[in-house]
A and B are shown apart, each in its own frame.
Chain A
């Protein structure tokens, strides 16, 4: 990791699984935040699953644009005005055994007093034709400092060995 990255916290899902991973009491001492995740869900009958990322416990006011590749087609779509929060992707039950999706969520100026924008990329990972990946930019109408981030396993629960790590980035 570059020297400007500092690990704030990291978590690994245990044998019982978890529906969401919540980072709380995030210190306001950095300029940007980066969340990296390596996850897989138990969503049945699918090779990939959605990941919803939300801030400060807010469930509305999210918008964004998503570029998506499925392995057989490319598309783009808006997530406005649906309450999906920030929409990413990960691996699910029908993905290659023991493979995990991964993603990075970048949140600049998270302590500012204006709406928060974010950019993020994610991929489902699957050793077959269908392997969904998404590149996204989004905005949420939260003007207070961000103190919590929730990562939600969409249509399933995160399985054991899924991990999420939050980094703080300082001015270099």
Chain B
């Protein structure tokens, strides 16, 4: 059973309530959306790093030397 804790701030009463089908679906949608976006972000960062490494290799300089050059 998947539950939520609901706190009524006007009374201080805490209830443990089972999630509805709609709430379960929303949780799953949130999870899937984040995983997809996170994978996209990580892939973009990896691609950027690979392009940078390729460029440094073409120039024949190190990361540190590139920083000095651009600094």
Contacts and interface: CB of A to CB of B under 8 A. Distances in A.
Contacts of B7: 9-11, 21-24, 166
Contacts of B41: 75, 77
Contact of A25 (B5, B9, B19, B31): B9
Interface stretch (A107-115, A133-141, A151-159): A151-159
Interface size class of A (residues with CB under 8 A): 35 or more
A83 B30 contact: yes
Interface in B1-23: 1-12, 14, 16, 19, 23
A45 interface: no
B5 A152 contact: no
A104 interface: no
A83 B33 contact: yes
Given A16-B3, A19-B3, A19-B27, A82 B9 contact: no
Given A52-B30, A83-B30, A9 B4 contact: no
A157 B3 CA distance: 9
B19 A9 contact: no
A19 B9 contact: no
Given A11-B5, A150-B4, 19 more contacts: A9-B12, A16-B1, A16-B3, A17-B3, A19-B2, A20-B4, A20-B23, A21-B7, A22-B6, A25-B10, A27-B10, A75-B45, A82-B34, A82-B37, A83-B30, A85-B30, A152-B27, A154-B30, A154-B34
10 closest A-B pairs (Cβ-Cβ)? A25-B10, A20-B4, A18-B5, A22-B6, A9-B9, A9-B7, A82-B37, A11-B7, A26-B9, A21-B5
Interface of B: 1-12, 14, 16, 19, 23, 26-27, 29-31, 33-34, 37, 41, 45
22 contacts: A9-B7, A11-B7, A11-B14, A14-B16, A16-B3, A17-B3, A18-B3, A18-B4, A19-B27, A23-B7, A24-B6, A25-B9, A59-B26, A75-B45, A82-B34, A87-B34, A150-B4, A152-B27, A154-B34, A155-B31, A166-B7, A166-B9
